[in-house]
Structure 1
Amino acid sequence: STTAPNYSWQAAGQTVFTDNTKTSPIGWNARVQEGQRVFVSIRVKNIGNQTWIKGSANPVRIATWNPQDRNSPFCSEWISCNRIAEHVEASVGPGEFGTFEFWAKAPQQSGTYREHFNLVAEGRTWFNPTGTFVEFDVQPPIYTWQPIHQGVFTDNTKTTPIGWNARTTPGQKVYAVMSVRNTGNVAWEKNSLHPVRLAPWNPQDKDSIFCSGWISCNRIAVHNEDVVQPGQIATYEFWIQAPDHTVSARQHVNLVAEGKTWMKPTGAFIDVSVEAPQYSWQPLHQAVFTDNTKTTHLGWGASLAPSQKAYVVVAGINKGNIAWTNTTSPIRLGTWNPQDRNSPFCSEWLSCNRPATLQESRVEPGQVGHFEFWIQAPTSTGTYKEYFNPVAEGKSWMNATGMYVQLDVK
């Protein structure tokens, strides 16, 4: 006897994802905003006696149901608005599992939609309805955010933090990082028509005096991440440049979905204090060595024979509000008491009133800088107190601390 064809199926699972990478599941059903596209995957079992062959004359497709053949408001890149897709597999035999995958685009009308589906063997028969549906809770787009963390750094290497806010000098640039949470229901897409940008606030759209390398002086930056889903963290990074005058200002910020809406302000801000440059230091330690290998220590000071050479190391803390560098307005150790005197211990110095330039390329406030230089004892014996003080060339001498190296020439 001949067995009658039996087209039957059984639902085996379903998941809605944010996109077709299928890396971010939303759930069995989905809460979406108006116009949002999501990716649906429905797994089924062939419990009939016919093999489903993809691309055949009678392909098995997932289609709209309840009522049969209705046009779905979620139609997006489907075969038609009542025929959604064929199974992914080349063939699905009796007892095997098939997968139907497709995009769904929410309509522009909010509400709860229960999208019923069934299978159809085109040109043959509809399958038994199983009550399968995906429920979509379509909401109007909500753009909201929550500040999570912020920090200001000396530069974009982000290795030297300054603090939550910024203390700068006129013209100085610092680098800010802000982390925020997407608390709305809309994914923020960096390269979309409606990117979510950080912008000056209070008042809205006012040009900032701290603008430097921004999108514009009323648009600071877009988030680093390509996509920030609801609940995820976005990171905004940007330079702040102090104006050429002293000022203390509070830079309020807010987020804007360009072409859509400003978000509700959260009160987020960065305080920027622009202060007059202060060059100040505090001696930390000093040592005299037999040579520049610095392996044989002579002491805080040293006893030397006439014409004997030795190697001096002086370390000091930057107690000012401006970074020391060894390039622009270099920080050098100079002779002191009296200022700029020519030292009798001058040996391979920059000049006889400038023993050395700062060793480090940059020393931020609170960090330690070093000066190293040779000395050569004069031929005249005696006890010498060699006073030194740092100088920012072309800018200012630093505070005198009474620092000296005592050298006994015997």
Structure 2
Amino acid sequence: MVKEQQFWFDQWQSSGVRVVPAVWTAGYDLSAMPRNWGPNQVQTFTVKVVNTGNQTWHAGGATPVRLGIHFANAMGGYRSGSWLTDERTALPTDVAPGGRAMLTVTAHAPANPGAVLEAEMVLETQFWFSDWAPLKTILGSPTWNASYNMSGAPQTWTPGQTQTFTVTVTNTGNQVWPAGGSMPVRLGFHFANAAGGYPAFGSWLTDQRVSLPVNLAPGASVSVPVSLTAPATSVPNVLEVEAVKEQQFWFSEWSPVAVTQANPVWSAGYDLSQAPRTWVPNQTQTFTVNVTNTGNQTWPAGGGSPVRLGLHFATRDGGYPAQFKSGMTTWLNDQRFALPTDVAPGASAAVTVNATAPPTWAFNTLELEMVKEQAFWFQDWAPLTIIPAPLVWSASSDVTGAPRTWAPGKTETFQVTVVNTGNVLWPSGGTYPVRLGIHFANAEGGFANLANWATDQRFSLPADVSPGGSASLTVSVTAPAGAVPLVLEAELVQEQVAWMNAWSALATGS
């Protein structure tokens, strides 16, 4: 520390330091650099560079780092002394140690391009880097040639059908095929009336282009997944693949595959292993159905004519044909469920269904059948014979919110929660609704102890209550005018039918 203009302190702290020498090194990716060059030819390509040293490369200033590209008679970088040209390209931005940059380079070949094209970084006005990347050049005209493996292409198609498969293409020319940019190489697929490639383009009915996943060097191959759609009206007899250099030319090689038109097949398989076999009228149950597309058409999950799963309770099996022959009386209900996604031929989908049985015991069959909405029912269905389950009317109720002390004739308001513990829907309305009965009694015991009831007050449910469901009722109950009995009881009743054999009692006092 120092007291400015006066003195330095007597205490100090020292720390050893180690000076690391500056390292200016680079890595180069020349995979997009052309190998073929003619005299005085100009070509544009990209070079990726990596800062493998410990110094930041500055793109500007008095001593920027640039990429040098030079044609040479022999490799060896700056020290070789065999350069025929030297062209510099600026970095797009500063590059920190470990960082990368993509440079677009335009190179001009000399009248005699030499044997090597080299990339080497330079710190301008100071030194060339000690590492470089050479690429052996090939003199002569560029060639753009390809071979194709179409063995995976389907040979049967239906009009408008979309199918997915893989094509392997090999670069048999001497130029790198760019997968991107303004003039990429793509695969062109066309359904045609006759083979012949672009020279016979007059016979093409479709032309669908598919991008390459990566740049493709001479001699290299790549597998390309394609998804093609056949013409909407009819399928011609040829499917052809041919590479194209967009905006420039079609390759001179193509590969045809003979195809035939097949009739569309809409068929399905059903897995009912999780479907319940026991049901009661009005019961709702949720389960999963696995459906498999056993046809040759993709099932659309949406759109104007989707494929859906139809579920119906019926008096007999037989699918839509039985329903039609019966005058549309076999099915007692018809419930539709959407697919979670499109289903390709051979694929399966799990559909969650929430099915409700009809209100009467007229059904003995549960049936599943796919339907193409607004078009047709499938010709295969899956029936399941129903086993009638006994009707269970049971309930629980919570009366803990009721007052325990009552005065004669006093009205109190409180809440009661009831739970449907049976397997039958409680209707809140209609001819035989389920209601909550509240009664004061001299002893508990429910309807069986009817003789001991002093009052019986009924309260409607706010809505139907499904098995397992619950409802909360706000009730206003009035105590008897005389002495208040010992018990307040809650019990469910189906009006005009029966009381449920379960009640909840609460001791009272006056």
TM-score normalised by the shorter chain: which range applies?
0.5 to 0.7
RMSD (Å) for aligned C-alpha atoms: 6.0
492, 495, 498: which one pairs with 1:390? 492
250, 268, 287: which one pairs with 2:400? 287
Contact 1:150-1:176 at 8 Å conserved across structures: no
Hey, what does 1:186 align to over in structure 2? 297
307, 322, 339: which one pairs with 1:224? 339
Asked which structure has the greater CA Rg, the reply is 2
Count residues with an aligned counterpart: 337
Structure 1 residue 231 displacement after superposition: 1.3
423, 433, 436: which one pairs with 1:332? 436
Structure 1 residue 183 displacement after superposition: 3.8
Task: Give the AA of the match of 1:405.
Answer: L
Correspondence 1:61-80 to 2 at 5 A: 71-72=194-195, 80=203
Cα distance in structure 2, aligned partners of 1:83 and 1:400: 73
Deviations 1:317-336 (A, max 9, x none): 43554322545535222436
Cα distance in structure 2, aligned partners of 1:284 and 1:100: 62
Hey, what does 1:167 align to over in structure 2? 280
Distance 1:32 1:305, change over 3 A: farther
Structure 1 residue 372 displacement after superposition: 5.0
Correspondence 1:317-328 to 2 at 5 A: 317-328=419-430
Correspondence 1:9-408 to 2 at 5 A: 9-10=145-146, 29-31=152-154, 33-35=156-158, 36-38=161-163, 47-48=173-174, 71-72=194-195, 80-81=203-204, 103=228, 105=230, 117=242, 127=252, 144-148=267-271, 163=276, 166-169=279-282, 178-189=289-300, 198=310, 202-204=317-319, 205-207=321-323, 209-212=330-333, 214=334, 221=336, 223-224=338-339, 227-229=342-344, 230-233=346-349, 235=351, 242=358, 245-255=360-370, 262-263=379-380, 267-269=382-384, 271=386, 273=388, 280-283=393-396, 285-287=398-400, 289-290=402-403, 302-303=404-405, 316-328=418-430, 329-335=433-439, 338=450, 343=455, 353-354=456-457, 356-358=459-461, 361-374=463-476, 383-393=485-495, 395-399=496-500, 401=502, 404-408=505-509
Structure 1 residue 354 displacement after superposition: 1.7
Indicate the SS of the match to 1:324. coil
Structure 1 residue 249 displacement after superposition: 0.5
Contact 1:63-1:85 at 8 Å conserved across structures: yes
Distance 1:318 1:181, change over 3 A: same
Contact 2:280-2:424 at 8 Å conserved across structures: no
TM-score w.r.t. the length of structure 2 is 0.45
Task: Give the AA of the match of 1:232.
Answer: S
Cα distance in structure 2, aligned partners of 1:138 and 1:287: 73
Hey, what does 1:346 align to over in structure 2? none
Cα distance in structure 1, aligned partners of 2:464 and 2:189: 68
Structure 1 residue 93 displacement after superposition: 12
Cα distance in structure 2, aligned partners of 1:313 and 1:124: 82
Structure 1 residue 142 displacement after superposition: 6.0
Distance 1:273 1:322, change over 3 A: same
Hey, what does 1:7 align to over in structure 2? 143
Contact 2:370-2:377 at 8 Å conserved across structures: no
Hey, what does 2:53 align to over in structure 1? none
Task: Give the AA of the match of 2:297.
Answer: V
Q: Which runs of 5+ in 1 are unaligned?
A: 17-27, 153-162, 215-219, 291-301, 344-352
Cα distance in structure 2, aligned partners of 1:84 and 1:367: 58
Hey, what does 1:295 align to over in structure 2? none
Hey, what does 1:20 align to over in structure 2? none
Structure 1 residue 50 displacement after superposition: 11
Cα distance in structure 2, aligned partners of 1:86 and 1:103: 9
Contact 1:148-1:179 at 8 Å conserved across structures: yes
Task: Give the AA of the match of 2:358.
Answer: A
Q: Which runs of 5+ in 2 are unaligned?
A: 1-37, 40-138, 324-328, 440-446
Task: Give the AA of the match of 1:262.
Answer: Q
Cα distance in structure 1, aligned partners of 2:405 and 2:368: 62
Indicate the SS of the match to 1:206. helix
Contact 2:143-2:175 at 8 Å conserved across structures: yes
Cα distance in structure 2, aligned partners of 1:233 and 1:74: 40
Distance 1:32 1:195, change over 3 A: farther
Contact 1:118-1:132 at 8 Å conserved across structures: no
Task: Give the AA of the match of 2:347.
Answer: G
Contact 1:32-1:139 at 8 Å conserved across structures: no
Distance 1:400 1:255, change over 3 A: closer
Task: Give the AA of the match of 1:168.
Answer: P
Structure 1 residue 48 displacement after superposition: 4.6
Cα distance in structure 2, aligned partners of 1:150 and 1:387: 44
Indicate the SS of the match to 2:508. strand
Which one has a larger percent helix, Structure 1 or Structure 2?
2
Cα distance in structure 2, aligned partners of 1:140 and 1:118: 31
Task: Give the AA of the match of 1:280.
Answer: W
TM-score w.r.t. the length of structure 1 is 0.54
Indicate the SS of the match to 2:163. strand
Structure 1 residue 234 displacement after superposition: 6.0
Cα distance in structure 2, aligned partners of 1:403 and 1:85: 73
Indicate the SS of the match to 1:71. coil
Deviations 1:363-396 (A, max 9, x none): 2234455555455666755653345532334x43
Structure 1 residue 187 displacement after superposition: 2.0
Distance 1:312 1:85, change over 3 A: closer
Percentage of identical aligned residues: 10
